[in-house]
Amino acid sequence: MRIDSNKLSEYLKKITLGKCPLCDHEQWEVSDYVFALIEYPEETKCTPVISITCENCGYIHFVNVLNAKLATVEMLENPDWNKADD
């Protein structure tokens, strides 16, 4: 699943990434793909996230797409909701 590029652009305007906490680099790559962070070992809880990666050292920020209002539960439960964007 991918996040709508307009929603993602609007979200990125609202936040400040700043410097990487590991290497002080300021260039980031933002993924529009939604990944699932799964609770271990029970695997009963899943958190949908996008990743923001430092282009220098690879440090990764995760952003919960539900809290950031980039997607809804309904969107996540229907994998075909944005198929036209692929």
Residue 61: pLDDT band (50, 70, 90) is very high
Residue 27 scores a pLDDT above 60: yes
Q: Is residue 50 part of a domain?
A: yes
Establish if 31 belongs to a structural domain: yes
How is residue 86 annotated by DSSP? -
Tokens of 23: 């290497």
Specify if 21 maps to a domain: yes
Confidence of residue 1 (pLDDT cuts 50, 70, 90): confident
Q: Note the pLDDT of residue 84.
A: 44
Q: What is the pLDDT of residue 86?
A: 46
Q: Do the domain assignments include residue 63?
A: yes
pTM (predicted TM-score): 0.81
Write out the E strands in 1-86.
Answer: 28-30, 35-38, 46-54, 60-64
> What is the number of alpha carbons within 13 Å of residue 35 lying toward its C-beta?
13
16 lies in which domain range?
5-71
The count of domains in the chain is: 1
Section 64-73 average pLDDT? 94
